[in-house]
Amino acid sequence: MKNLSILFLMLFISISMNAQTAEELKAEQAPKKAKIAELQGEVNALQAKIDALPGWRKGAFGTIGANLSGFSNWYSRVAPDADAGNIGITVNGFANLIEADYFWRNSATINLGWVKLDDRNSNLDSSDFETATDVFTLSSLYGKRLNKKWALSGLAEYRTTIIDNFNNPGFLDLGVGATWTPTDNLVVVIHPGNYNFVFSNSSPIFNSSLGAKIVADYTKKYGKLSVKSNFSTFQSYEDGDLSNWTFTNSFGYTVWKGIGLGFELGLRDNKQEAANFQGVTDIKDADNKIQSYWVFGLSYSL
């Protein structure tokens, strides 16, 4: 019994010493963490000054999402022998030249997706990956500064698909007006003089028109989080059915050496596209619903 008491006493002393040691280590650690935070603040301040210098600013980040599966003799399924897959890729890149008296902002967005559902016991479906998402956008904005926040500007923006129907349809906006840049990360384009060229090889439902172009673009990095949000709309002066808008939001969170998680959500309203898909002869008969897509998966930042 005496030996057991000594054992418990030694165990208690050991635990106490370890607890005391942990408290001492935490006390020693606290000022070092504070110093790191202080240095990080100084680094962020210096980076902000670097970012404010004239010159080129370039960057890109994207998301890859993939889900592949195969079943053989899996009798709980309606189709026990089947292959399925879903692959999505998004890339957002920019190259901006920022000078004291002018700027030139360029961006590109690509979103491609493929799906497959192949029942190997049926000849009615396809064993190939079919296109699910197909988005390609190029934008170039030039501005001559009036002051720090306002500039006279010209914009060229082109949208189409690149897998199935390149430039069929294709939408090209060319316009002039003003650009507001309240911060380095937010750009708002207001162009009351804009012509929306619509290209199509087959459908008479697509028509070009004169109108107004408004674009709001926000791009920023919050530590490991990259954010890009873009809203682009064309409002036709000739017919409201020829108007359209697209709203995309992309997020990438870096975990290790540029690799992380990414998410992108896109929304679009375009009655001409809806009428063409539904095969109606009069655009006013189209059932125009909001288009959408989303991608979630691994991301990589440059």
Higher pLDDT: 165 or 236? It is 236
Q: Can you give the pLDDT at residue 7? A: 61
97-154 pLDDT, tens digit per residue, is: 999 999 999 999 998 888 887 878 887 777 777 877 788 999 999 999 999 999 999 9
Average pLDDT of the residues in 39-67: 76
Q: Can you give the pLDDT at residue 159? A: 93
The pTM of the full predicted model, rounded to 2 decimals, is: 0.76
Average pLDDT of the residues in 74-88: 76
Confidence of residue 177 (pLDDT cuts 50, 70, 90): very high
- Pairwise CA distance, residues 229 & 153, whole Å: 21
Architecture of domain 55-301: Beta Barrel (2.40)
Q: Can you give the pLDDT at residue 13? A: 59
Q: Can you give the pLDDT at residue 52? A: 66
DSSP string for residues in the chain? -HHHHHHHHHHHHHHHHHHHHHHHHHHHHHHHHHHHHHHHHHHHHHHHHHHHSSEEEEEEEEEEEEEEEEESS-TTSSSSSEEEEEEEEEEEEEEEEE-SSEEEEEEEEEEEEEEEEEETT-SSS-SS-EEEEEEEEEEEEEEEESSSSEEEEEEEEEEEBSSS-BTTTEEEEEEEEEEE-SSSSEEEEEEEEEEEEEE-SS-TT---EEEEEEEEEEEEEETTEEEEEEEEEEEESS-GGG-EEEEEEEEEEEEETTEEEEEEEEEEEEHHHHHHHHT-SSGGG-----EEEEEEEEEEE-
How is the chain split into domains, by residue range? 1-53, 55-301
Q: What is the mean pLDDT of the chain?
A: 85
Confidence of residue 277 (pLDDT cuts 50, 70, 90): confident
Angstrom distances, CA of residue 221 to CA of 118, 125, 238, 251: 41, 44, 40, 10
Confidence of residue 178 (pLDDT cuts 50, 70, 90): very high
Average pLDDT of the residues in 36-50: 75
Confidence of residue 245 (pLDDT cuts 50, 70, 90): very high
Average pLDDT of the residues in 64-87: 76
Percent of the chain with pLDDT over 90: 38
Over 80: is that where the pLDDT of 44 sits?
A: no
Over 80: is that where the pLDDT of 174 sits?
A: yes
Structure tokens at 100: 């004291």
Q: Can you give the pLDDT at residue 156? A: 97
Over 70: is that where the pLDDT of 275 sits?
A: yes
Higher pLDDT: 302 or 211? It is 211
Q: Can you give the pLDDT at residue 48? A: 66
